C-alpha cells in the first residue's frame, strides 16, 4: 500500500466514527454479495441472463414478503422452468454458500482475537473434526438420523470436550485450549480415518467428498436450519465485539478495564462454536475461509472487532459464493468440492500475506 | 471516606505468602507511594486493589465497598490501573487503546456518556500527534504514556499505578509524576503507585509505605520513611539519604564487609568523601573527623565511615574533639588529610596528627597558595607528611602509607 493511501486511510479512520465506517463497509460488501449471488446463480448448463436472475430473485422475495401483506411483483415473464432452476436448484446452493461463508468469516475473526493469534481458525477447538466424525459415521454406517444433525452434534461435543479439558478451577487458559484443540483434532482425525477405512466404495466416496466441503444437492431446508442459528449467533458476537477488543489486550488488562475475562471467553467460545457447527453441518469441512478472510479484512479495516467481525462475515460470504461459482463456471461440472477451491485460492493468498510480513506483524 | 482501605490483608500466590497482614489507607487527593525491593510484594499489593488478586484473608475496600463484592464493570469505574506492561498483539491505533479506558462507562447500546474523555486524556498525556499511529510503531516511553492516557480516560476516583515511570527517561518520568501529582490534587483522585526510584517516590508522594518481604515496615511522610536505617533494612546494601531541599537516596553495594584495619581521614567536602569512599571500597574501616556539622558531604560520609567526629555547624574545632580525633588516629593504621577548603578554624585537627607515623595528603581541590599554607601549617604542628606529589595516590593515599608501614 502506498504511503499516500495509508495516510488517507489513517485520517479517514481518525475522523469517522466506528459505526459509520462499519455501515459503509458492510453496505459495500452486501452489494458485492448481491452481485456474486447473481453471477453464481447464472452458472450452470442452462444459460439464464443476469437480468432474468435478478427479476426471478426479486419476484420470489416479494412473494415471500406478500405473506406479510407486502405487494408481490412479477418482473420475470420468461419460461417458467427457469424459475424452478434458479429458485429450487441454484439459489439454495448459493444461499448455503453465503450463510456458511458468513458464519466462518465472523467466527474466524472472533477466534483470532480470542486466541490473540492470527493463525487461529474457527475450527481450532475441534469443531470440524467432531462434525466429520458425526457425518462420516452416518454415511458409512447408513444411520437413520440426518447427516446435518449428526455433524452438528459431533461438532459441539468436540468443542465442549476441548473446553472441558482446558478448564481448571473455572479458568480456561487460552494456550491450553489451543493445545487441547489440536490433540482432540488429531484423535478425531484418526477416528474419521478408521471410519473411512471400514466403509464400502460408495459411502467412501460420499464421506471423502463431505470432508472436502459439500455444497451439492443443497435445498432450502439447509438454509432454514442454519440461517437462524448463524444470524442469532452473529448478533451476540456483535454485542460482545467491544469486549473482545479489550480482551485482546490480555486477560489481566481486560479485567481492570471492566471486562470479566472468564465470562466473556465462555460466551465467545460457545457462540462461535454453535455458529461454526451450524455452518459445517450443512456444508462439510471448508478450510481457509475462516483463516484468510479475517486476515485480509484486518489489513483493510483494522483490528477493531466492531468493524472486523461484520466485514469478515460479509467478505466470507462473498468469497465462498464466488469460489463455489468459479469452480462450476470453469469446470462446467457440479461436483468439485468447494473446500478444494478455497484451499487452492486461499493458500497462495495466505503465502502472499506471509511474504509481505503482514501476518508476522499481526 | 477513605478511598482505599487495606484491613489486615494477606495474599498467597501458589502457596507462598506474598503479602502479610497489610493495613493501610489511601485518601482522595493524595499520592501514596509503595516502595520496596524487587519481590517485596508491591505489584501484589496493587493487584488486590483492582481485584485481579483475591486476598487469602483480610479485606480491601474501594470507596467503602469490598473489592471482591463489586462486578468487573463497577471496579473499572472506581479504579483505573496503569499496568507494568501490556500485551498488544494486534495493531490497534493509539486512540483505540485509549478509548478502551471508556469500556466500563459506555453502555452496550448507545454512545459514550462523556464523549470528551478520550480527547482530554490524550491531551493530558501529550499524545495528540500519535492519535492515528499504530501502537506497535511507538517507542516504549510513548507506549507507557498511551497506557497512562487509557488510565486517565477511565475517569475513576482511584488510580493504581505499577511503576508509572518504568521505561521513561528522567525528563518524561518527572513530567508523568508531575501530571499524576497534579491530577490527585485537582481532580481529587487517590493515587496508589509502586515506584522503583526512591528519589522520585520521595519527591512526588505525599505518603510512602515501605514494603519488605510482604510486610509494611514503615509508613508515613517520605523523609521519615526513607531513613538510612529503614531503607538499608528493606533493600540491604548501604544507603545514604538526605532530605534537605528535596530527598536524595543513593545506594551502594554491600558486597565488601569493612574488615581491614582502620584508617583515619581528616578532611572536609568532596575531597574527604572521595577519600572515605575509596578506602571503604578497598575494605578499610574508616574514621573521620573532626568535620563541620554543616559540611555538604557529611551525611554521605557518615554512611561509609564507622565513626565520625562532627562539630556544631559553623563552630571551630574544639579541644574535646581534638582529643577524640587523637585517640582515633592512635588506633588507626594510617591517616589521610583530604581537604576541599582550608580554613583557619580547621587547623586544630592537625594537632591530633602529631603522633601519626605518616600522613598522606590529598589537596588537589585547593589553590596552590592554600595548599602551600596548609603544608606549612602541618609542618608547624610537627606532622610527618609522606613525601608524595604523585597523583596516583589520590585515590588511596593511605594504602601506600600502609604498605610502607608494613
Q: What is the pLDDT of residue A360?
A: 42
Asked if residue B95 lies in contact with residue B123, where contact means CB atoms within 8 angstroms, the answer is no
**Which region among A55-64, A257-266, A351-360 has the lowest average model confidence (pLDDT)?**
A351-360
pLDDT mean over B119-125:
90
B155 touches A: beta carbon within 8 Å? no
Q: What is the pLDDT of residue A151?
A: 92
Asked if residue B284 lies in contact with residue B259, where contact means CB atoms within 8 angstroms, the answer is no
B44 versus A61: the higher-pLDDT residue is B44
Q: How confident is the model at residue B89 (pLDDT cuts 50, 70, 90)?
A: low
Residue A47 clears pLDDT 70, i.e. is over it: yes
B274 touches A: beta carbon within 8 Å? no
Q: pLDDT, tens digit, for every residue of A126-147? A: 898 999 999 999 999 988 889 8
Query: How big is the CA angle at A247 (ends B172 and A259), to the nearest 5 degrees?
Result: 95
Q: Which residues are paired to B310 by β-bridges?
A: B291
Residue B61 clears pLDDT 60, i.e. is over it: yes
B63 phi and psi, to 5 degrees? 50, 45
Distance CA A195, CA A191 (A): 6
- How far is A298 from chain B, CA to nearest CA, in Å? 9
Q: Which fold has domain B260-405?
A: Rossmann fold (3.40.50)
A174-197 and A127-141 helices cross at what angle (nearest 10)? 20
- How far is B159 from chain A, CA to nearest CA, in Å? 11
Distance CA A358, CA A299 (A): 8
Residue among A246, A259, A362 whose CB faces B91 most closely? A362
Do residue A257 and residue B136 have CB atoms under 8 angstroms apart? no
Asked if residue B35 lies in contact with residue B163, where contact means CB atoms within 8 angstroms, the answer is no
**Element housing B182 (H / E):** helix B170-186
Closest residue on chain A to B51 (Cα): A256
Q: Which residues are CB-contacts of A18 (< 8 A; sequence separation ≥ 6)?
A: A304, A306, A307
Q: What is the DSSP string of B114-180?
A: STTHHHHHHHHTT-GGGTTSBGGGS-HHHHHHHHHHHHHHT--SEEEEESTTTT--HHHHHHHHHHH
Q: What is the pLDDT of residue B401?
A: 45
Residue B299 clears pLDDT 50, i.e. is over it: yes
B352 versus B392: the higher-pLDDT residue is B352
Closest residue on chain A to B67 (Cα): A256
Do residue A11 and residue B132 have CB atoms under 8 angstroms apart? yes
Q: What is the pLDDT of residue B137?
A: 84
B143 touches A: beta carbon within 8 Å? no
B96 touches A: beta carbon within 8 Å? yes
Q: What is the pLDDT of residue B393?
A: 43
Closest residue on chain A to B131 (Cα): A14
B232 phi and psi, to 5 degrees? -65, -40
- A303 CB neighbours in chain B (<8 A) are 90-92, 96
Do residue A257 and residue B103 have CB atoms under 8 angstroms apart? yes
Q: pLDDT, tens digit, for every residue of A152-162? A: 999 999 999 99
- How far is B167 from chain A, CA to nearest CA, in Å? 19
Closest residue on chain B to A10 (Cα): B132
Interface test with A, best of B92, B111, B132, B158 (most A CBs within 10 A): B132
Q: Which residues are CB-contacts of B109 (< 8 A; sequence separation ≥ 6)?
A: none
B22 versus A170: the higher-pLDDT residue is B22
Per the prediction, chain B carries an average pLDDT of: 84
Q: What is the domain range of residue A120?
A: 16-66+80-361
Q: Is residue A27 part of a domain?
A: yes
Do residue A260 and residue B71 have CB atoms under 8 angstroms apart? yes
The C-alpha torsion from B184 through B185 and B189 to B190, rounded to 10°, is 70
Q: How confident is the model at residue B257 (pLDDT cuts 50, 70, 90)?
A: low
Q: Which range among A80-84, A212-216, B21-25, B245-249 has the greatest average pLDDT?
A: B21-25
Q: What is the pLDDT of residue B394?
A: 42
ipTM of the complex: 0.80
Q: Which range among A114-123, A128-137, A295-304 has the greatest average pLDDT?
A: A128-137
Q: What is the pLDDT of residue A124?
A: 83
Q: What is the pLDDT of residue B75?
A: 94
pLDDT mean over B72-79:
94
Locate B120 and state its grid cell.
482530554
CATH code, domain carrying A119: 1.10.3470.10
Distance CA B6, CA B24 (A): 5
| Superfamily per CATH, domain B4-243 | P-loop containing nucleotide triphosphate hydrolases (3.40.50.300)
B334 versus B160: the higher-pLDDT residue is B160
Inter-chain CB pairs, A–B, below 8 Å: 87
Residue A50 clears pLDDT 50, i.e. is over it: yes
Distance CA B62, CA B26 (A): 10
Total structural domains in chain A?
1
Q: What is the pLDDT of residue A142?
A: 85
Residue among A243, A245, A252 whose CB faces B52 most closely? A252
- B108 CB neighbours in chain A (<8 A) are 239, 242
Among left, alpha and beta (phi > 0; psi -120 to 50; other), residue B15 is left
Q: Is residue A2 part of a domain?
A: no
Residue B335 clears pLDDT 50, i.e. is over it: yes
Per the prediction, chain A carries an average pLDDT of: 86
DSSP 8-class letter at B68: G
DSSP 8-class letter at A120: -
Residue B355 clears pLDDT 80, i.e. is over it: no
Helix (H, G, I), strand (E, B), or coil: what is residue B216? strand
Q: How confident is the model at residue B194 (pLDDT cuts 50, 70, 90)?
A: very high
Q: Is residue A9 part of a domain?
A: no
B243 phi and psi, to 5 degrees? -125, 30
| Measured CA distances, B252 to B37, B249, B280 (Å) | 14, 10, 11
Q: How confident is the model at residue B395 (pLDDT cuts 50, 70, 90)?
A: very low
B380 versus A191: the higher-pLDDT residue is A191
- B91 CB neighbours in chain A (<8 A) are 302-303, 361-362
Q: Which range among A53-57, A81-85, A313-317 has the greatest average pLDDT?
A: A313-317
Buried b (16+ CB within 10 A) or exposed e, A55-90: bbbebbeeeeeeeeeeeeeeebeeeeebbebbbebb
| Measured CA distances, A164 to A156, A159, A178, A187, B60 (Å) | 12, 9, 12, 16, 33
- How far is B109 from chain A, CA to nearest CA, in Å? 8
Q: What is the DSSP string of A159-189?
A: HHHHHHHHEETTEE-HHHHHHHHHHHHHHHH
Domain boundaries, chain B: 4-243, 260-405
Measured in Å, how far apart are chain B's first and last C-alpha atoms? 70
B256 touches A: beta carbon within 8 Å? no
Q: How confident is the model at residue B387 (pLDDT cuts 50, 70, 90)?
A: low
Whole-number CA gyration radius for chain A: 21
Residue B146 clears pLDDT 80, i.e. is over it: yes
Do residue A298 and residue B104 have CB atoms under 8 angstroms apart? no
DSSP alpha helices (H): ranges in A211-249?
220-239, 241-247
Q: Is residue A325 part of a domain?
A: yes
Amino acid at each position: 500500500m502506498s504511503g499516500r493511501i495509508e495516510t488517507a486511510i489513517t485520517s479517514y479512520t481518525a475522523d469517522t466514527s466506528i459505526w459509520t465506517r462499519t455501515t459503509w463497509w458492510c453496505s459495500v460488501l452486501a452489494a458485492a454479495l448481491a452481485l456474486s449471488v447473481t453471477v453464481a446463480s447464472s452458472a450452470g448448463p442452462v444459460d439464464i441472463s443476469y437480468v432474468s436472475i435478478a427479476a426471478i430473485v426479486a419476484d420470489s422475495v416479494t412473494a415471500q414478503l406478500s405473506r406479510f401483506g407486502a405487494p408481490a411483483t412479477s418482473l420475470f415473464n420468461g419460461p417458467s422452468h427457469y424459475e424452478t432452476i434458479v429458485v429450487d436448484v441454484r439459489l439454495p446452493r448459493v444461499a448455503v454458500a453465503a450463510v456458511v461463508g458468513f458464519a466462518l468469516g465472523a467466527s474466524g475473526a472472533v477466534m483470532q482475537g480470542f486466541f490473540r493469534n492470527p493463525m487461529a481458525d474457527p475450527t481450532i477447538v475441534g469443531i470440524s473434526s467432531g462434525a466429520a466424525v458425526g457425518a462420516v459415521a452416518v454415511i458409512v454406517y447408513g444411520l437413520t438420523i440426518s447427516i446435518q444433525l449428526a455433524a452438528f452434534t459431533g461438532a459441539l461435543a468436540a468443542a465442549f470436550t476441548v473446553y472441558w479439558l482446558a478448564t481448571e478451577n473455572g479458568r480456561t487458559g487460552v494456550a491450553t485450549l489451543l493445545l487441547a484443540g489440536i490433540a482432540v483434532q488429531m484423535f478425531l482425525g484418526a477416528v474419521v480415518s478408521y471410519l473411512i477405512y471400514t466403509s464400502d466404495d460408495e459411502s467412501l466416496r460420499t464421506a471423502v467428498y463431505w470432508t472436502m466441503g459439500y455444497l451439492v444437492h443443497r435445498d432450502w431446508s439447509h438454509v432454514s436450519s442454519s440461517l437462524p442459528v448463524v444470524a442469532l449467533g452473529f448478533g451476540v458476537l456483535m454485542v460482545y465485539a467491544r469486549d473482545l477488543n479489550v480482551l485482546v489486550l490480555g486477560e489481566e488488562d481486560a479485567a481492570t478495564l471492566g471486562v470479566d475475562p472468564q465470562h466473556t471467553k465462555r460466551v465467545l467460545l460457545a457462540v462461535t462454536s454453535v455458529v461454526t457447527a451450524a455452518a459445517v453441518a450443512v456444508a462439510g469441512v471448508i478450510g481457509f475461509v475462516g483463516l484468510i478472510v479475517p486476515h485480509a479484512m484486518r489489513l483493510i479495516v483494522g483490528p477493531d472487532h466492531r468493524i472486523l467481525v461484520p466485514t469478515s462475515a460479509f467478505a466470507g460470504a462473498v468469497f465462498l459464493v464466488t469460489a463455489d461459482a468459479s469452480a462450476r463456471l470453469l469446470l462446467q461440472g457440479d461436483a468439485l468440492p468447494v473446500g478444494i477451491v478455497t484451499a487452492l485460492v486461499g493458500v497462495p493468498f495466505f503465502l502472499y500475506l506471509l511474504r509481505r510480513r503482514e501476518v508476522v506483524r499481526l | 471516606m477513605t478511598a482505599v482501605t487495606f484491613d489486615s490483608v494477606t495474599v498467597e500466590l501458589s502457596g507462598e505468602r506474598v503479602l502479610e497482614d497489610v493495613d493501610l489507607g489511601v485518601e482522595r487527593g493524595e499520592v501514596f507511594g509503595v516502595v520496596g525491593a524487587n519481590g517485596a510484594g508491591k505489584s501484589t499489593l496493587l493487584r488486590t486493589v483492582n481485584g485481579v488478586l483475591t486476598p487469602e484473608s483480610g479485606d480491601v475496600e474501594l470507596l467503602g465497598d469490598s473489592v471482591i463484592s463489586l462486578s468487573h464493570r463497577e471496579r473499572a469505574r472506581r479504579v483505573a490501573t496503569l499496568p507494568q506492561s501490556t500485551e498488544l498483539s494486534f495493531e490497534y491505533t493509539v486512540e483505540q487503546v485509549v478509548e478502551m479506558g471508556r469500556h466500563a462507562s459506555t453502555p452496550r447500546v448507545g454512545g459514550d456518556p462523556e464523549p470528551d474523555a478520550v480527547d482530554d486524556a490524550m491531551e493530558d498525556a501529550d499524545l495528540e500527534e500519535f492519535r492515528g499511529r499504530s501502537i506497535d510503531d511507538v517507542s516504549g516511553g510513548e507506549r507507557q504514556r498511551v497506557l497512562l492516557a487509557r488510565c486517565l480516560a477511565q475517569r475513576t476516583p482511584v488510580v493504581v499505578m505499577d511503576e508509572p515511570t518504568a521505561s521513561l527517561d528522567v525528563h518524561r518520568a518527572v513530567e508523568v509524576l508531575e501530571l499524576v501529582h497534579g491530577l490527585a490534587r485537582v481532580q481529587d483522585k487517590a493515587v496508589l503507585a509502586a515506584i522503583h526510584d526512591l528519589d522520585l517516590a520521595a519527591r512526588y508522594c505525599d505518603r510512602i509505605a515501605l514494603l519488605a518481604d510482604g510486610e509494611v515496615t514503615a509508613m508515613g511522610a517520605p523523609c521519615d520513611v526513607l531513613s538510612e536505617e529503614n531503607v538499608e533494612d528493606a533493600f540491604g546494601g548501604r544507603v545514604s539519604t538526605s532530605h534537605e531541599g528535596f530527598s536524595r537516596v543513593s545506594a551502594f553495594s554491600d558486597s565488601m564487609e569493612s574488615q581491614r584495619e582502620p584508617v583515619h581521614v581528616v578532611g572536609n567536602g568532596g575531597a574527604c568523601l572521595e577519600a572515605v569512599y575509596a578506602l571503604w571500597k578497598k575494605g578499610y574501616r574508616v574514621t573521620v573527623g573532626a568535620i563541620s556539622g554543616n559540611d555538604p558531604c557529611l551525611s554521605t560520609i557518615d554512611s561509609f565511615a564507622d565513626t565520625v567526629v562532627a562539630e556544631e555547624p559553623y563552630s571551630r574545632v574544639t579541644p574535646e574533639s581534638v582529643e577524640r580525633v587523637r585517640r582515633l588516629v592512635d588506633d588507626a593504621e594510617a591517616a589521610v588529610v583530604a581537604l576541599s577548603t582550608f580554613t583557619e578554624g580547621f587547623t586544630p585537627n592537625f594537632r591530633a596528627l602529631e603522633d601519626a607515623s605518616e600522613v598522606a595528603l590529598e589537596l588537589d581541590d585547593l589553590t596552590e597558595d592554600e595548599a602551600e599554607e596548609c603544608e606549612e601549617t602541618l609542618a608547624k604542628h610537627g606532622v610527618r607528611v609522606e613525601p608524595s606529589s604523585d597523583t596516583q595516590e589520590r585515590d588511596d593515599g593511605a594504602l601506600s602509607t600502609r604498605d610502607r608501614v608494613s
